[in-house]
Amino acid sequence: MSNLTLHTPMAESENASALEWTRPDQVMQLHRMKLKKRALQARINKTTINAGDRQTATNLDALNSSVNVPQRVSDQKRKNPFAINETCKKQKDLTSTGLEISNDNTLFELLHIDVQQEKPTTDSSTKDSLTFANVLSKLELTNQTSDTSAPKGAKHIPIDWTLKTKMRFMSPKPFPWNGKLKTSEEASGTTGFVRCLDIGEKETTLDTSLNARFHQCCLIWQHPSLPWLELFPRSAGKVSASLANNASIVNNQNMKDALYREWCDSFRSLFHLLRARQCPYFYVCANTFTVLFRAAGICGLSEIHALITPTTRGFRQSLKQEEIEFSMPLRKDYKRRSDPTDPDSKTADVSTVDCQQESENYEEEEDDDETQDAWLESLGVENSEIKKINHSQARMTLEKESEVDNLRQSLVFVRGVETQALFNFLINCKSAIAMTGALAGVPPTLLAPTAFHGATLKPLKVRESVVRDNNDRYYSLELRGPLLPHVLPSLCHLMKSSQLEQYSASCAQLASTTSFSTARHGHAIVTREEDLDTTKDSLPPNVFGQENLSDCGFNEELLSHFCSPDPARIEILDSLKFFNGLYTWS
């Protein structure tokens, strides 16, 4: 009994030790001991722990962090369970890059940019990568490329001093006006043109519709007006079916004298308006030549001036006999006498011929001829041979002077007080009135934008139609008649104010008057200081011209355009296009 009592506690202790559980912290402590031993051994051997062990340690550390470790094993610093190791950081970088590229792909698809062409290679730098940071630079480059490929143009059309016989406008949309006018529209357009009123911009009781304003742009003043004769364009060799109807004028001296007197009164009235700066310009259309008179201030010139084209040697000789000084800016075989340091003085296109200098040259040549004749006589040459030589030289000189006859190079430019002498010359010029042909006995045609004595108000012929090109439909507007330089800018301004987005225009030129635009300002090759007069408040000359011509009948914008001293504002217009608020021409 005693033995049983003594051995019972020991047996219980042995059974308890055999059945005792191993705690997790003890297992982890043993495992950490093993890891420390391996790490120490690897540090000694300068080797690294394999990836499997590292992954195992990581997993175990994560497991350990989730277990409630007693205080006795928590003396080692516990790792932050939310810390990101290098492997996860690399994976996150790859993932974020992939997401960013995918987002960029979506962005570039929305912006219609080809990703395959823009996608950089693996060796490309960071600045070439497709990231949102580089999107704006890509867009700027695309916009610059599109701006470079966009058509260039100007906000204002140039002035063409060439007379036109026909003009056609084409537009994919219908024009905001038509040829069928109401009573109020026709009356208001006529009143606005006759009284020189800007019915579209200023307050008035007149009809300000687009039809009325369009009708105002299609009127002109003309003298004489003979309904059975076509007085524009004029041609000396033109055969007209109305020749028989004109036989009464040719055979009746009283009718010819009456027409001539009326024409002189009208011409004088128009010239006086020009001198008073109440008419900006006008044309004198004879059978063999055309004269353009322009008021002081037009094209920035400070003096009244005129251009004549085409001319012949006989016509120019007549001007010399009347002692009218002129220049020929388009003639290439003469060079300007100016400062030798001026590079423009060597350019053929800026050459001029002054008739006074030319007459002095003729006198010198005559003296040389006399000296040569005396020298030939001293050599024993007979007088008959000397006459033949002189005749041959004179013929060669005349042929040289006649080379430019009836060409654009024969244009004559007159300015200042010489313009008054030219006016007197044209009134008494017999060659201005044809003696034979369909227009025999009919004085030259006067065309002007403002009213004058004896003038007839003439409307342009307007025709509307629809043109089909394949499946496209275009609206056509055609104008026929004497189209003066201000008509095209006025119509373009009207279309701009009516918000017509796109249209084109083509013009039929009167070929004999293209040199008016080729010569530009006529004197641009002379460049005198008084033409750039800035004596008052240092203002450009177009300001003075615009102020002095304020009563000439043009609105402020159109007058500023015609008074510009820039020669680049003058061009020959065959066709014109308007798109995106800009004009292009050829």
Interval 148-165: pLDDT, tens: 455 577 888 999 999 999
159 has which bridge partners? 570
Half-sphere CA count of 276, side-chain side, radius 13 A: 12
Quick one: pLDDT at residue 86? 56
Phi, psi of 447 (to 5 degrees): -125, 130
Q: 422: Cβ–Cβ under 8 A, 6 or more apart, which residues?
A: 291, 306, 308, 319, 324, 414
Write the DSSP assignment of 61-115 as a string of letters: HHHHHTS---GGGTTSPPPPTT---HHHHHHHHHHHHHHHHHHHHHHHHHTT--H
Model confidence at 431, pLDDT cuts 50, 70, 90, reads: confident
Mean pLDDT of 75-89: 58
What is the per-residue pLDDT across 48-76, written as a single tens digit (0 to 9) for each? 445 445 554 454 454 444 444 444 444 45
Whether residue 365 is predicted with pLDDT greater than 90 in this model: the reply is: no
Asked if 332 and 506 count as a contact pair (C-beta separation under 8 A), the reply is no
Q: What is the spatial distance between Cα 282 and Cα 423, in angstroms, rounded to a whole number?
A: 13
Find out whether 425 and 316 touch, Cβ atoms under 8 Å: no
Residue 241 has pLDDT above 70, yes or no: no
At 508, give phi and psi (nearest 5°).
-100, 115
Residue 284's DSSP bridge partners are 291, 446
Assign 136 a pLDDT band (cuts: 50, 70, 90): low
- The winner for highest mean pLDDT among 172-176, 198-202, 381-385 is 172-176
Higher pLDDT, 199 or 274: 274
Average pLDDT over every residue of 240-252:
64
Distinct helix (H) and strand (E) counts, the chain: 18, 13
**Is 307 strand, coil or helix?**
strand
- Give the model's pLDDT for residue 163: 95
> Does residue 5 carry a pLDDT above 60?
no
Q: DSSP state, 570? A: B
Is 329 a residue whose pLDDT tops 50? yes
| Alpha-carbon span 42 to 418, nearest angstrom | 113
- Say if residue 434's pLDDT is above 70: yes
Give residue 84's pLDDT. 57
Residue 126 has a CB neighbour count (10 Å cut-off) of 9
Residue 537 pairs with which residues in a beta bridge? none
When the pLDDT of each residue in the chain is averaged and rounded to a whole number, the result is 75
Q: For the beta carbon of residue 174, count every other beta carbon within 10 angstroms.
A: 14
> Does residue 562 or residue 521 have the better pLDDT?
562
The reported pLDDT for the residue numbered 369 is: 59
- The answer on pLDDT for 432 being more than 50 is yes
Other beta carbons within 10 angstroms of residue 539's beta carbon come to 12
Cβ atoms within 10 Å of 362's Cβ, excluding its own: 12
- pLDDT for the residue 122: 43
Residue 251: pLDDT over 50: yes
**Looking at residue 161, what is its pLDDT?**
95
**Residue 118 in this model has a pLDDT that exceeds 50:** no
Q: How confident is the model at residue 359 (pLDDT cuts 50, 70, 90)?
A: very low
pLDDT(112) > 60: no
- What does the alpha-carbon distance between residue 456 and residue 5 come to, in Å, rounded to a whole number? 156
Q: What is the DSSP string of 478-547?
A: EEEEEE-TTHHHHHHHHHHHTT--EEEEEEEE-GGGTHHHHTTTSSTTT--GGGG--TTTT--HHHHHHH
Beta strand ranges found along 224-380 (DSSP E): 281-285, 290-294, 305-309
Inform me whether the pLDDT recorded for 264 exceeds 70: yes
Strand, coil or helix: 327: strand
Helical (H) or strand (E) element with 414? strand 412-415
Closest CA to 120 of 133, 106, 131, 136: 131
- Quick one: pLDDT band at residue 529, thresholds 50, 70, 90? very low
Higher pLDDT, 104 or 269: 269
> Residue 160's closest CA among 518, 406, 434, 421?
518
Look at the alpha carbons of 478, 234, 432, 254 in this order and tell me if their dihedral is positive or negative: negative
Q: Give how far the C-alpha of residue 85 lies from the chain's centroid of Cα atoms, to the nearest Å.
A: 66
The one-character DSSP state at 232 is: S
- Measured between alpha carbons, how far is 22 from 485 in angstroms, rounded to an integer? 112
What pLDDT score was predicted for residue 414?
96
Range in 233-237, 281-285, 432-436 the model is least confident about: 233-237
Strand partners, 475: 171, 466
Higher local confidence (pLDDT), 541 or 417: 417
Q: Which residue has the tokens 């003396």?
A: 75
CA distance 188 to 199: 8
Q: What is the DSSP letter of 152?
A: P
Average pLDDT of span 172-178: 86
pLDDT at 231 over 60: yes
Q: Classify residue 268 as left (phi > 0), alpha (psi -120 to 50) or beta.
A: alpha
**Which tokens belong to 408?**
């654009």
Locus of tokens 């030289």: 393
Residue 572 has pLDDT above 80, yes or no: yes
Q: Are 242 and 227 in contact (CB under 8 A)?
A: no
Q: Examine the pLDDT at 378 and tell me if it is beyond 60.
A: yes
Answer for the pair 130, 118: CB distance below 8 angstroms, yes or no.
yes
Instruction: Please tell me which of 70-79, 83-92, 129-138, 312-321 the model is most confident about, judged by mean pLDDT.
Output: 312-321
pLDDT of residue 501: 84
CB 421: neighbour CB atoms within 10 A? 17
Question: What single-letter DSSP state applies at residue 47?
Answer: -
- Asked whether the predicted pLDDT for residue 2 surpasses 70, the reply is no
Cα–Cα distances in Å, from 49 out to 33, 36, 424, 552, 573? 15, 11, 117, 101, 87
Indicate the helix (H) or strand (E) that contains 459. strand 456-459
Locus of tokens 């400070």: 302
Range with lowest mean pLDDT among 38-42, 333-337, 421-425: 333-337
Q: Could you give the angle at the alpha carbon of 235 between the alpha carbons of 232 and 236, nearest 5°? A: 140
> Looking at residue 479, what is its pLDDT?
94
pLDDT digit string, tens, across residues 468-515: 888 888 999 999 999 999 999 999 999 888 888 889 999 999 999 999
Query: What token pair was written down for 456?
Result: 């007839």
Both ends of the chain: CA-CA distance in Å? 137
Residue 94, amino acid: L
Q: What is the pTM for the complete model shown?
A: 0.66
Given this model, what pLDDT does residue 129 score? 52
Q: What's residue 395's pLDDT?
A: 66
